[in-house]
Structure 1
Amino acid sequence: MTTVVPDTEVGPLLRVWRERRKVSQLELALRAGSSARHISFIETGRSRPSEDMVLKLAEHLDVPVRDRNALLLAAGYAPRYARTPLDAPALDSLRDGLEHLLRGYEPYPALVVDATYTVVAANRGITMLLDGIPARLLTAPLNAMRITLHPEGLAPRIRNLRAWRRHLLDQMERQLALTRSVALREVYEEVAAYPLPDTYDAADEPAEQPADAGAEYASPSPFALPLRIEHGGTVLSFVSSIATFNTPLDVTVAELAIETMLPADPATVAHLRSLVA
């Protein structure tokens, strides 16, 4: 993944991140225990920040770990964060932990993706949902966005495809606004251009609720948008939760996300447990 920036000096790079986060120089200075004058001098190149200051400003601007390395290099310092391949021995315990977590979540679906939604691990709940998908769409590397929105993938089975598709595209747009990733932009442009499946019928979409909807309009899962997907003649309903690692010190680890699908109704629970039985 590459971040697009208009300059290679650390000052302009920091300004880009500050403006992207919609933070004033004064606010950033207060967060970092500095002064607006010093922040201004750093951004204009009149002052060279120390290594600790670069890291402090990056932390308060919530700069991704990969891009913190770019800031350090632009300031003349060595990168601080390694990028360890996920299959390296150093990450054996991480992989084991993730696999244990995914297995423990079965029969409910769960998977691990990287910064471009490439699937790096998944459990049997996910395999169950992918049953019947053409083999050519399941060749590695498998991309979660591609397999979900492709007209020959899961899309024809998703009963609320319009709403779920908008949710996924909005999610990617928010990430692009923060990271400007070229690789993620390519995935976004690909999946956003997919046509709706030939079998898609807008009449299957649940009607949007009025703004003043009362109890008679209550959704079975009003706390979050559900994914409603058909499997084996049964419509399953899930709500999605995404978790990341807290304070990661490695680029690879920082870009991993664990998505778990929680059943949103008793029928989904019963169906999944019947499959296990």
Structure 2
Amino acid sequence: ALWLALASPLVPMHLASGAHNDALMVGLLVAGLAVVAARPGRPGPLLAGGVLLGLAAGVKITALVVLPFAALAAIVGPYRIRALVRDGAWVVGGALAALVGATLVAGLGLGFISGLEQGGLVVAWTSPPTAVGQTVGYLLAPFGVHVDALPVTRAIGMVVLVGVLVWLWFRSWRRGEPFWHAALALTATVALSPLFHPWYWLWPLAVLAATARRTRWFAIVTVVSSFLVLADGTGLPRYTKMPGAPLMTLFVIVLVVRLVRSARKGRQPVPVS
């Protein structure tokens, strides 16, 4: 976990050299999850963990994705609605209070909501929904059809993201491992957003590195992401839309096919000998 998330090339290349506030967000996020993990069922520590998560969301609102999973991790004993209210409410309450308090103290209001829309102005194939929209345009252009499919594919990506997040939470409710599912939720958030910057990968990576059993694919994505933006700020995806977008679209198709096949195999009854 230390080598993958803390000593990875993404940290010196983008968090330190680039001075992105994602470093502060990830630090507060991991600290909040660590406090919750260390003291489940204890109101004081759970409230403190929630405050840290709320401050992380004050830096970047996407940190709130882990909050429902942190509420599950706060429970001592079997998962029950009563236990969720009893223990998880401290985490959620602390996070929301910290977020509202930081917003009032900063005096910036809810301007971050309109700021989120600015991400849609960047068109780069590193975002799968964006790549699919680009590819649709490329395929239709030779037939004289010029359409902007980005709004549609990006909207579909957001709808799928909401469904995946809800599914992951209920899966964690049934199977446990809330921190692993929180990492998957952050991964889905990064993958299905309309914009991907290399340093965004550190959001889920910091939690994945501490919870995953296999890390090879995470290491590959880390190394590739580290060199997508050059030292002078040049973003390579901007100059590699072709073949970048079609290749990313092909990867999405392969991934969806594999997921569907895996789901079908999981539903097949086990033969009795």
Query: Normalising to structure 2: TM-score of the pair?
Result: 0.30
Find the structure with the greater CA-based Rg: 1
Tell me which of the two structures has the higher relative contact order, counting C-alpha pairs closer than 8 angstroms and 6 or more residues apart.
Answer: 2
Q: Of Structure 1 and Structure 2, which has the larger fraction of its residues in strand?
A: 1
